[in-house]
Structure 1
């Protein structure tokens, strides 16, 4: 009894200490993060259709470089710790040529206004599409309705343009074999609400070095062309201009050196490629301002990182994976990874919500209650894939604190994958994603700067930096407070799952299966608590270990109570 009372008092006292520390970081980040800077960087980046190695991608990298240099980062010459603030641009030869769009136009012969134009729909040209001959081409268009492959072989497509209501890549091989000169197609998922947002086109790609060009249509353009074709023979004039050339792939990495354990680090990653404003110019802009502010606070001696903080901008998944795997000794020191992807949405315009995508926990297997997957869809997660760690609850609670302060809506979703957090997880490193979904303008050419909120970027930046500052300088008190936090979150989750299982059994579900869900959740949180031992920079974690034991016992005892009641 004495031990429990003393530890309870210790939890309370150290919880206040840790809260004060977090409050201090919140004050610094809230006062120092300039959303105007983040917005201006986002506006610069979103002007370009960004593919690794092309003009827009490289201009974005160098724009970030200018921000870093102005903030006080110096270019790395020999190693990343030769100065407290360093950056480097990595240049690599590309296996394939880079690509960029220049212009495109589709005109229905005999009509004064274009069917669709690059000026209003820059996603109409798929990545890797070549150019038409100078001046464009004029040809008859063949509208393919519900026609089987066998029937298509009977249609004369030589020298013609093929049009269908499917993605053009599906018909590319057939069109090439039949001697067609081009393919027009359409591909918009339901969540983009194409009947409402009729001018949107999601960007796509096609096979490189193809003899046949392809173009994508908006809902409005598709419907107009379809109606015209159904009236009779239709001719189109198509003009496409693109550039395809050799280039170098660029990645930029900046470091704020830790004073005690520089080889241990927190890594932020934001990908540059993709043509949208929210996806992912907003991630680039937010992370650039986070790096600038960190340099300012470091030089003013307002923060003293004990571990290293790293900022990375590059090609989605590719650059992050390479950063982790190219140097195995380097990878061992990465303790946390965070992806900033689509973090600036004006949710009133996009319909999306700010989300933290959790590392695989049991909600990715048993998604029920208030848990739900996004339109992106669930991944194939089994019990062997679960990743118990305090990082989930630590970040979510930091974001909820900022949400309460700024009247900012914060939600989460079970693990789905698909962004820069996945390379961390694949290499057994805790990794989370900050993002927004479901967004009606996702991947479309209507994802422009008018859909970006500077305030949203500030909330993300403040939350991310506050969490990172706390972790890279975590001490024993931070660890003990985190134990208390994770225990509380774990007990709340067990209670929720117990109520859901009780109802499921009442509705006829097998009790054994429901008890198993409770057991898996309990084990996940017990294992997550154990990971807090490695949080403090100081190796002396005896008190952290003691509090973990007490918290673990409380979780296990509550689990037994719930399992007994589920009989």
Structure 2
């Protein structure tokens, strides 16, 4: 009985100590985490439509690098063990050109105001769309209903419009001689009838770099359908985009563990995609986490037993490579956390929390 009592006492002491340590770390991080830094970084990253290799993606990586350097991380020359705080920028040749949107405007002929424009909705131009000639193209818009077949519609030299994804529409329309397409495909959980100017970004397969795909908002789709109900509609479409050879950048920072440095916790945030929520917030939050961790480490307030790794790059592929390219390193990865769409206030955004996951055991979402 005495032995059991002693074990119980020791367990109680250990539990209290663990709780005290946890609370101590919470106080340190809550006091030191600078929300203004995070908001400023989010604003910087959000300025760009980010895809691997393009101007905005690279600028975002370099912005993170500047934050790391200011916090005391030093650039790694050969090995992570060179310094307690290291970072490296990995460069890889891309198999395909990167893509970068510049501008887009669509206007129903005879109307003064644009139906949509890039300056207020960057998602309207589907990824991999080509540029139109200067001044754009003007053509008749042809609507394809739900049960219609493109073989029964003359789309040559015209713009095909349908209530389906622009990516699905594009290939068959281009094969039939269309100049481009306009698609509408907003899931119901995005509440498009309420958020009538919202558009989800999408991409098309366009190896020939010809033609364009426009993603319509609910409001634009309804206006276009109303115009078509009155007769023939012609539209002027201006698109401008760049496609060029580039390198893919990934940035990895480490705080070395002092007892088990080969074991690590990996935090990651994907840089690509155009939004503030998805995922400038994750990039910025992870940058502030790394900055604060470095500050606490240098001040002697934390001394992690295992290595802390912070990674920014292309979604899925960058973390996949981190695991697959070094088998010994992979063995030491104990835990991972993805900073993705951090801190959204759904009362303001109107968003719905949507879970897409494999059967358990799988990822865990925190809110």
Shared fold (TM-score greater than 0.5)? Answer: yes
Structure 2 equivalent of residue 165 of structure 1: 163
1:13 & 1:42 partners in 2: Cα distance?
42
Q: Distance in 2 between matches of 1:304 and 1:93?
A: 37
* 1:175–1:212 Cα contact (<8 Å) kept: no
**Which structure shows the bigger proportion of residues in helix conformation?**
1
Please list the CA deviations of residues 244-280 of structure 1 after superposition, one character each: whole Å capped at 9, or x if unmatched.
0000000000011111211111110011011111111
Task: Verify: 1:115 aligned to 2:94, yes or no.
Answer: no
Aligned to 2:52: 52
Whether the 8 Å CA contact 2:89–2:251 is kept in 1: the answer is: yes
TM-score by length of 2: 0.96
Contact 1:283 1:342 (8 Å CA) reproduced:
yes
Aligned 1:64-79 pairs, distance under 5 A: 64-79=64-79
Partner of 2:314: 315
Q: 2:202 — aligned with what?
A: 204
Give the deviation of 1:6 after TM superposition: 3.2
Gaps of 5+ in 1: 354-373, 388-414, 418-431, 437-567
Could you tell me whether the CA contact under 8 Å between 2:257 and 2:307 is conserved in 1?
A: yes
Q: TM-score, normalised by structure 1?
A: 0.63
Does structure 2 conserve the Cα–Cα contact (< 8 Å) formed by 1:340 and 1:433?
A: no
Q: Counterpart in 2 of 1:375?
A: 354
User: How far off its partner does 1:11 sit?
Assistant: 2.2
Q: Matched residue of 1:81: which SS?
A: helix
| Deviation of 1:348 (Å) | 2.3
Match of 2:124 in 1: 124
Determine if contact 1:128/1:205 at 8 Å carries over to the other structure: yes
Show CA shifts across 1:396-427 (max 9, x none).
xxxxxxxxxxxxxxxxxxx4x6xxxxxxxxxx
Instruction: Please say which structure displays the higher CA radius of gyration.
Output: 1
Structure 2 counterparts to residues 221-240 of structure 1, below 5 A: 221-240=220-239
Alignment of 1:17-32 (within 5 A): 17-32=17-32
- Please give the alpha-carbon distance, in whole angstroms, between the structure 2 residues aligned to 1:45 and 1:295: 22
Distance 1:87 1:433 in 2: 28
Partner-residue secondary structure (3-state), 1:289: helix
Aligned length: 366
Secondary structure at the residue paired with 2:81? coil
Corresponding residue for 1:404?
none
Task: Report if the CA contact (8 A) 1:74-1:86 is conserved.
Answer: yes
Given that 2:85 and 2:253 are in contact with CA atoms closer than 8 Å, whether structure 1 keeps it comes out as yes
Cα distance between partner residues in 2 of 1:3 and 1:144: 80
Alignment of 1:467-506 (within 5 A): none
The verdict on how the C-alpha distance between 1:146 and 1:208 changes in structure 2, with shifts beyond 3 A counting, is: closer
When the two chains are superposed, the root-mean-square deviation of aligned CA atoms in Å is 1.5
Three-state SS of the structure 1 residue aligned to 2:30 is helix
Q: Distance in 2 between matches of 1:7 and 1:213?
A: 71
Q: How far is 1:90 from its partner? A: 0.1
Q: Report the Cα offset of residue 351 of structure 1.
A: 4.3
Shift in Å, 1:315: 0.5
Tell me if 1:145 matches 2:145: yes
**Runs of at least 5 residues in structure 2 that lack an aligned partner in the other structure:** none
Query: Residues 49 and 327 of structure 1: is their aligned pair in 2 closer, same or farther, counting only changes over 3 Å?
Result: same
| Greater percentage in strand | 2
